[in-house]
Amino acid sequence: MMRLRISQTVGILLVVCAALCVLVFSVYPLAALFSRSLAGDFVTRFTQTLGDSGPLVIQSAQVGIAVAVASTVLALIVAICASFSSRGMRRAVLGAALASIVSPPFLASLAYIELFGRRGLITHGLLGLSISPYGFIGVVIMQSVFFSAINVMLLLSALKGIDPAVINASRDAGASPLRTLVCIVIPLIKHSIAACLLLTFIRSLADYGTPIVIGGGLETIATAIYEQVVGYSDLESAAVLGVLLCLISMVVYAIYGRLIVRSRGASGLSGAAVDLLGDTTFSSLRLRGVLGISVRVVGILFVLFMIVQYGTIAHAALTRGVGWNAPFTLANIQHLISFDAGSLILSIEYALAAAVLSIILGALIAYMRTLFAHPASPVGRLTSVLEFAATMPYMLPGTCLGLGLILAFNATPLKLTGTGAIIVFALAIKQLAVSIQSFSGAFSQFDANLERAARDLGASRLEAIRDTVLPVSRRAFMVAFANAFSTAMVSYSVVLFLVVPGNKTAIFELFDALSSGKYGQAAAISLAITLVVLVVNAVVFLLFGRKKERS
C-alpha cells in the first residue's frame, strides 16, 4: 500500500511540475511582454510606435507575401514531382528537404553570397558580373528556398493522404493527367496549400537572420525589435512591436487551425498515417509531355540546388579567399577546433538538455490529455487549457518569446538571464507543441485496458506506464527527440536576447563570422552543426527506429 501511495505521489508531482513549467516559461513571459507594452502612457506609445512603424509593417508584409507565394508554388511543384514520379525521385526530394530543414538558418544565405555575390562563383567566376546580392530580392529568394523544404514535407503528406481510388476513377473516366491534377488533386489539397501560404507568411515575418545577413537596408518587424532592444534599450517600444507580431501570428494560426480541421474532413483524403518513403500509390497518373518534363525539371533543380548549396559551403570551408582558383587550406577547420569547439559542445549540451526536457513535458501533458481526462470533465478542460498554453510558444515568433523571457526573468526572485538554464527552457518550450502532438498520436492508439490490467495485477501506476505505455511510444520519442534536438541546434531568434558571452552557442559564432565577412569560418561552423545534427539523428534512429521494426 505504501509503495502504491508513493507511486501515485510521484506521478502527481511529475504532472504538477509539467504544468508549472508551462505556466512559468510559456504563460508568464508572454504576460510580461503584454504587460510591458501597456506600462505607463501606453496609448501614446502604441500610437507613436505603430505610426513610426507603418513603412516597416508594409515592407514586412510585402516580403512575407512574396515569400509565401513563391515558396508555396515551388513546394507544390516539387511535391507533385515526388508524388507522381519514381520512388528514387521521391527519396531524392525527401533527402534534400530533410537536409535543408536540419541545416543552420544562415547556411542558405552563406551559399547565396558565395554563389551570387559580388565575387560569387557563378556571377563573377562564370559570368564576369559584379552585382550586389543584397536587398529585397535576395531576402525573398533565400527565404523562399529555405521555407520551401518544410512546405514540401507538408504537401507530400497531404498528397500521400489522397485516396488513390479518386484518381483512378478520374483516369478511368477519360480525364487527362493535367485535368486530373487540376480538377481533382489540387482541390483536394487546397487547405494544405492555404496552410503553407499562411505558415510561410508568419515564418517570413518572424525571420530575423536572413534580413540581417543579406537584407542590406531592408528592415522588417523582427529586425526592428532587435534594434530597439540592443541599439536603443527601448524595451517598451520593442514590446509594442512584439505584441503586434504576436497578434498577427495568433490570427494567422487561428485561420490555419480551421483549415487543418477542414482538410481532415475533406472528401478523398484517407486520413490514415502516411509513409512518405513508401512506394507511390498513384500508378494511374503519370505526368508526361511538356507538363511532366517541366515538373521533373523543377524537382531536379530543387535537389541539385541543395547539393550545390552544401558543395559551396564545403568549398568555402576548405579554401582561402573566393573564386574557383582559391587555394586549399585547413585554416578554417583549425580555427573551428581551436576557437569554436567550445561553443559547439555547449550547443550540443543545450540541445540535448532541451530535447530531454521537451520529451518529458510533452509525454506528461499528452498522457494527461489522452489517458487521464475526459474532454467534458473539469480535469479535461484544465488539460486542454494547459495544452493550449504549451502550444502558444510554437505559434509565436521566436523573437517575441525571447523578448518575453528577458522581461520576465531579469529580476529577483526569478533572475535567470545570463544563465544556461533559461536557454534550455526557452529551446524546450518553443518545440513543446511538437512533442505533445507526437506522444498524443502514440497514446491515442493505446488501449487503456492494458494499463488497467497491469494495475489489477498489482503494478503501480509508474510500473504500468513503464511496461504498457512506453513501449508503444518509441516512434513518438524518436520524432520528438529528433525535432527538439535539431531545432535547438539551429535556433537563433528564440535565444537572441538570452545569450551572453559566457554561454555563446555555435549558431551565434556562425552569425558573427558571417556578419564579419569571414565566410570560410562561417562555412566550417555550418558544416560542423549540420554534421552533428545528422549524426545524432542517425544514432537515435538506429537505437529506436530499428528496434521498432524488429518488434
For 302-346, give the DSSP string: HHHHHHHHHHHHHHHHTBSSSSTTPPB--HHHHHIIIIIHHHHHH
**What is the pLDDT, as a whole number, of residue 33?**
93
Q: Is 424 helix (H, G, I), strand (E, B) or coil?
A: helix
Encode 202-214: b = buried (16+ Cβ within 10 Å), e = exposed.
bbbbbbbbbbbbb
Are 314 and 498 contacting, i.e. CB atoms less than 8 angstroms apart? no
pLDDT tens sequence for the chain (551 residues): 444 444 456 667 777 888 899 999 999 999 999 999 888 777 888 888 878 888 888 999 999 999 999 999 999 999 999 888 878 888 899 889 888 888 887 888 888 888 888 778 888 787 877 777 788 999 999 999 989 999 999 898 888 878 788 888 887 787 887 888 888 889 988 888 998 999 899 999 988 888 988 888 888 998 899 888 888 888 888 999 999 999 888 888 888 877 776 665 544 444 444 455 555 445 556 777 788 889 999 999 999 998 998 899 999 999 987 777 889 999 999 999 999 999 999 999 999 999 999 999 998 888 777 765 555 666 667 777 888 889 889 888 888 999 999 999 988 778 898 899 999 999 999 999 989 988 887 777 666 667 667 767 777 666 776 667 667 677 888 889 999 999 999 988 899 899 888 889 999 999 899 888 899 999 999 999 999 999 998 898 888 765 544 44
**What is the pLDDT, as a whole number, of residue 274?**
45
How far is residue 107's CA from residue 93's CA, in Å, rounded to a whole number?
19
How far is residue 315's CA from residue 233's CA, in Å, rounded to a whole number?
40
How far is residue 545's CA from residue 547's CA, in Å, rounded to a whole number?
6
Of 462, 362, 446, 389, the C-alpha closest to 381 is 389
- From residue 83, how far is each of 97, 176, 327, 545 by CA, in Å? 14, 17, 43, 24
Are 286 and 177 contacting, i.e. CB atoms less than 8 angstroms apart? yes
Angle at 305 between CA 300 and CA 309, to 5 degrees: 155
**What is the pLDDT, as a whole number, of residue 60?**
92
Helix (H) or strand (E) holding 506: helix 506-515
Q: Is 270 helix (H, G, I), strand (E, B) or coil?
A: coil
Q: Which domains does the chain have, with CATH numbers?
A: 52-309 (1.10.3720.10)
- From residue 345, how far is each of 22, 144, 149, 506, 523 by CA, in Å? 27, 31, 27, 8, 17
**What is the pLDDT, as a whole number, of residue 3?**
45
**Cell numbers linked to 30:** 508572454
Cα dihedral 391, 392, 395, 400 in deg (nearest 10): -140
Phi and psi at residue 319, to the nearest 5°: -130, 160
Helix (H) or strand (E) holding 195: helix 190-206
**What is the pLDDT, as a whole number, of residue 479?**
85
How far is residue 216's CA from residue 536's CA, in Å, rounded to a whole number?
36
**What is the pLDDT, as a whole number, of residue 549?**
45
How far is residue 55's CA from residue 22's CA, in Å, rounded to a whole number?
36
How many residues can be counted in the chain? 551
Q: Is 269 helix (H, G, I), strand (E, B) or coil?
A: strand
**What is the separation, in whole angstroms, between the first and last Cα of the chain?**
34
**Cell numbers linked to 195:** 496552410
**What is the pLDDT, as a whole number, of residue 302?**
94
Residue recorded with cell 529568394: 141
